[in-house]
């Protein structure tokens, strides 16, 4: 039965992209920890700024009618749906 649904044309459905939230968070933490002499308060402010910046980037997808799903919960990931690299670039993050 699943094969039957896979063959149907869903072109009228919602657009969907995947983002690896863990990968983005790890890159942000690394960037924060690489800053010498950062106080705990400054590190916290850095983290909060990251959350705000990420929400702003994802809002662009929302405003365009695109559903963003954390890639860790996707059961399958067809090629081209993962936009983690593009989001990281907008945030100025280097992914490993």
pLDDT for 16 equals: 93
Sign (positive or negative) of CA dihedral 61, 63, 64, 70: positive
**pTM for the structure as a whole:** 0.80
Per-residue pLDDT of the chain in tens (96 residues, 90 and over written 9): 344 444 444 455 679 999 999 999 999 999 998 988 889 899 999 999 999 999 999 999 999 999 999 999 999 988 899 999 999 999 999 998
Report d(CA 28, CA 26) in Å as an integer: 5
CATH number belonging to domain 13-91: 3.30.910.20
pLDDT for 6 equals: 47
């Amino acid at each position: 039965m699943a094969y039957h649904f896979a063959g149907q044309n869903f072109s009228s459905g919602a657009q969907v992209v995947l983002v690896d939230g863990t990968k983005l968070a790890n890159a942000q933490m690394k960037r924060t920890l690489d800053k010498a002499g950062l106080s705990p308060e400054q590190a916290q402010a850095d983290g909060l700024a990251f959350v705000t910046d990420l929400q702003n980037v994802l809002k662009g997808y929302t405003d365009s009618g695109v559903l963003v799903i954390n890639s860790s919960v996707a059961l399958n990931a067809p090629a081209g749906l993962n936009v983690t690299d593009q989001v990281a670039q907008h945030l100025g993050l280097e992914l490993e």
